[in-house]
Amino acid sequence: MRKVVYLLLVLSLTFTSCYRQEVETSDAWELTDDQLDSISFYTTHHYTRNYNFFVKADSVQLINQQPSEYLSGMLIDTFSVKRGDRLVVADIMTMPSDSIDSVWVQVARDQLTMGWTHESELLKGVEPDNPISQFIDSFSDTHLLIFMAFLSLVVATFIIRHLYRKRARLVHFNDIGSFYPTALALLVASSAVFYSTIQLADPDSWRHYYYHPTLNPFAVPLHLGLFLASVWAMLLIGLATLDDIRRHLSTTEAFFYCLGLAGVCAIDYVVFSISTLYYIGYPLLVVYYVYAIRCYIHTSRAKYFCGRCGAGLQEKGVCPHCGAMNT
């Protein structure tokens, strides 16, 4: 009898817990055609009405009339917005008969300054009005990237060669007894490979991130979140590296060591970000990991110990920790 009561109790709880009152949402998905077009445009172009742009070109030409009047050959009035102006997207129109660009965008600087232009012409002269997107845009400029790559390689090669000839402390060659500099160099190389991989495998997600950036790695898709996590990791490991360099070296030696480390990281970024675009960066990264770890094991291990404080030393002489002379 007791088992029957338990069974009835379980069945009653099951049926009552499975019932769920449906929420009335009769108009939740009743969207107008204009709203549906706006959503469709947003998914492919990553911006829509009320999006804010910042003019980066010297000027952007706009027309006062409707695009249909321009395409029909009517006389039009043009005006320009200047560098530094902020624009908001007021309207978007598709003109299938336009052979140049079927998408027209109306932007407004203020209530009295409003005009139309082709989307392709607009995007050439503007960038999203937020600092992260502007930073990405600056470092994505082809001419600037080539110049920075050339300058980084020249300067870094000169610094590394100079330090190597003077037998100064240098990551991968005459390293200190800390793994942080090696870890930072490896992380920069890995992040460069990861960044270029996103450009190759899923450029649309990066374009969406460009229009809607964030520093929160948990607010974006997994692959973008991993890249943002690597950027934060570079910042944290960089701070730990500076603190460890300060403890291992004197002020002068630490300064030149940081210059050499910056040069190595610059070379890593340029080499791996470019080589990955041609799929060479992946095997090169594996080789670099093996090389960097082997160099750390062979060059950072202490050969001597200070007779006063017991700190590890790479060579005999003045101890950088306590100042004692070791002969």
Q: What is the pLDDT of residue 20?
A: 43
CB-CB contact of 174 with 296 (8 Å): no
Question: According to the model, what pLDDT value does residue 304 have?
Answer: 66
pLDDT the model gives residue 303: 63
DSSP 114-166: EEEEEHHHHHHHEEESSHHHHHHHHHH-HHHHHHHHHHHHHHHHHHHHHHHHT
* pLDDT tens figures, 268-311: 888 898 899 899 999 999 999 999 998 888 776 666 667 667 66
Q: Is residue 39 pLDDT above 90, yes or no? A: no
Rounded average pLDDT over 43-69: 91
Least confident among 101-110, 142-151, 215-224: 142-151
Q: Say which residue, 54 or 146, is predicted with more confidence.
A: 54
What are the phi and psi torsion angles at 296 (to 5°)? -65, -45
The model's confidence at residue 70, banded by pLDDT at 50, 70 and 90, is confident
All structural domains of the chain with their residue ranges: 33-128, 132-326
Q: Is the pLDDT of residue 185 over 90?
A: yes
Mean pLDDT (the chain) is 81
Q: What percent of the chain lies above the pLDDT cut of 70?
A: 75
**Predicted local distance difference test score (pLDDT) of residue 232:** 94
| The model's pTM | 0.73
Distance CA 262, CA 251 (A): 16
Q: Say how far residue 50 (Cα) sits from the centre of its chain.
A: 25
Q: Return the minimum-mean-pLDDT range out of 18-27, 90-99, 196-205.
A: 18-27
Beta strands in the chain (DSSP E): 52-55, 59-63, 78-82, 86-94, 103-108, 114-118, 126-128, 304-305, 312-313, 317-318, 325-326
Which residue in 254, 169, 122, 18 sits closest to 10, CA to CA? 18
Q: What are phi and psi of 205, to 5 degrees?
A: -70, -35
Range in 89-93, 116-120, 243-247 the model is least confident about: 243-247
**Measuring CA to CA, which residue among 87, 174, 179, 192 is closest to residue 129?**
87
